[in-house]
Every structure is written in structure tokens, then in C-alpha cells.
Structure 1
Amino acid sequence: MSDPEDLTARATVVVDADPDQCWRALTDPDLVAEYFFGTKVTTDWEVGSDITYSGEWEGKPYEDRGKVLDKTEPLLLVTSFFSPMSGKENVPENWQRVTYRVQPIDGGCRVSVEQTGNDSVEATEHSSSNWQQVLDGLRKVAPKA
């Protein structure tokens, strides 16, 4: 049973692909667009670099931002994230942290995501559900990467 005060969104999937394929699925903009709600990702994935996530959601264009905070290819990617659609002020305390982990296992790898900085249990559950959809899509894309 999880702690009801834990506001970290989590999702995990087992992928029939090796860690390098999972990494490509996480970082190749063309592959990301296939499973991440059509989002266009722009970055060079170097630590300290900016990330832009753009697209259209429910008929409205968006442009979210982030930075690459840490990277150990092909096992770990940590980014910050801010969406103006959140309605919050663009200040450091309103940015979220997203950690992607790729763990080799027999027959493939386990890919997990954790997103901190959620405001409520409801927001955390919503983010967890969205991340699970994203990872379920990655599961289909990664073996072809």
C-alpha cells in the first residue's frame, strides 16, 4: 500500500527490447512523437541543455519546457519539466522532476518513470495514468528502434 501523502507519480512497463532500443525510444524525437501524444521534443539530451515539448492538446497548441538534469546512457535520464498550461507561475518551485530508468532484465528491460512535484493525490493519480499510457506506447515502439 502506498503512502497517501506521497505525491510522486509512477509508472512501469516491461519491454521486449534491449536497453539501447529503450533509450532510443525515450530520446529519438520521431519515436517519442509516436507514443507521447504526438509531442515534438527538441533537445540534444546533454546535461544542462534545454528541452522543448510542443504540440496540440484538446485543440490548443502548447509548448512545455524542461532541462536535462542528469544522464547515464542508456540507463538513466532525469529532466525538469514545466507546463504553462498548469496555470502556475514559471518559477523554480513550480517545475517538476521526471526520472526515467531503464533496467536490463531477462528478455528485455523494465522502463520506469517517476514524476515529483504534483500538487495533490488526484494530480498524482492523473499523472501516473498518463505516464502508464506513455510507457504502454513505448513498449510497442522500442522493439523496432
Structure 2
Amino acid sequence: MTAAGSSEFVYVTYIRTTPERLWSALTEADFMRQYWFGMHIESDWKAGSPWRLLFTDGRVADSGEVLESDPPRRLVLRWQHRLRPELEAEGPARCEIEIEPVGDAVKLAIVHTMDRPRSGLIGAVGDGWPKILSNLKSLLEAGRVALDTKL
């Protein structure tokens, strides 16, 4: 639930994998390129460290700071968009990633929030996350991505 004056995107999926394998898939650049349409994040994934999401040509799409890192359970990022001026002007968002074992599967929950009503950034990530995470789930379970198109 969001506070008055804030925006939120929530995505929950279940993936037949282990928490360790999912954590690696979310944090290893080479694996990430396979499901994130060629893009990848550079970071050492330690609390207080910077991170940046890069296109294949090196342009920075998003960047920020690792706020929390508890492998293989929880990752929290400060998220700042860098390409579209109107989205960058909104300021930073917060992205919380929770990984929880459930039987032979793992529950992956992503909550992306911003302290502003009707955020364009939250609308944009709401379009992107389902494609990215569908690809991730398919890659981990079936060995290939579901979508080959761009974001």
C-alpha cells in the first residue's frame, strides 16, 4: 500500500530455482544481458556502493546506490533514471527486491516506489519489469528467454 502522494509498482512471481541461483542471475552482468535485452548492471552489490544500468553501447539508463544487500535474500536500490529528462527530474525512486524460498521454487517480489503521485518513472518501470522478469523466469526454468524484442 502506498502513502498518499506516492506511486508504487509491485511484481511478484515464483520461479523454479534456488535463492542462490536467482541472486546470481540478478547480480551477474553476463547472465543479466541474456534476459535484460542486452543491458546489464555494473556494481559490486555492497551497501553504499554505486550501481548503473548500461545499454550495449555504454549509455547509462539508470543509476543509483545500493542501500541494502543481504545475499541471497534482499537487495534495496536507490534508483535514478538518466535518459529521459522528465523522468530524471522526478528524482530517485526506491527498488526493493525480496527473494524467499517456497518449496522447490523461489518467490521473487519487486516493489518499486517513489514519493510523488502519478510518477512517470513508476509508470515506465511498470512497463519494463514484467518483460524483464518474464525473460528471467523463462531463462532460469527453460534455458531461453520469452521475449526477444526490446523494452
Measure, in 1, the Cα distance between the counterparts of 2:58 and 2:42. 16
* RMSD, aligned α-carbons: 2.9
Deviation, structure 1 residue 134: 1.2
Which moves more between the two structures, 80-89 or 8-17? 80-89
Q: Tell me the residue number matched to 1:67.
A: 65
Cα 1:40/1:125, change in 2 over 3 Å: closer
Residue pair 2:6, 2:117 contacting (<8 A) in 1 also: no
Deviation, structure 1 residue 85: 1.7
**In structure 2, the residue corresponding to 1:85 is in which secondary structure?**
coil
Deviating beyond 3 angstroms after TM superposition, the runs of 4 or more aligned structure 1 residues are: 2-6, 88-91, 121-126
What TM-score do you get using the length of structure 2 for normalisation?
0.78
Which moves more between the two structures, 121-130 or 107-116? 121-130
Residue pair 1:25, 1:141 contacting (<8 A) in 2 also: no
**In structure 1, the residue corresponding to 2:7 is in which secondary structure?**
coil
Q: How many residues align?
A: 140
How high is the sequence identity, in percent, across the aligned residues? 19
Write out aligned runs for 1:1-145 (5 A).
7-55=7-55, 62-63=59-60, 64-88=62-86, 94-117=91-114, 120=118, 124-143=122-141
Measure, in 1, the Cα distance between the counterparts of 2:139 and 2:35. 7
What TM-score do you get using the length of structure 1 for normalisation?
0.81
**In structure 2, the residue corresponding to 1:120 is in which secondary structure?**
coil
- Show structure 1 runs of 5+ residues with no match: none
Measure, in 1, the Cα distance between the counterparts of 2:128 and 2:88. 22
**Relative CO higher for 1 or 2, CA cutoff 8 Å, sep ≥ 6?**
1
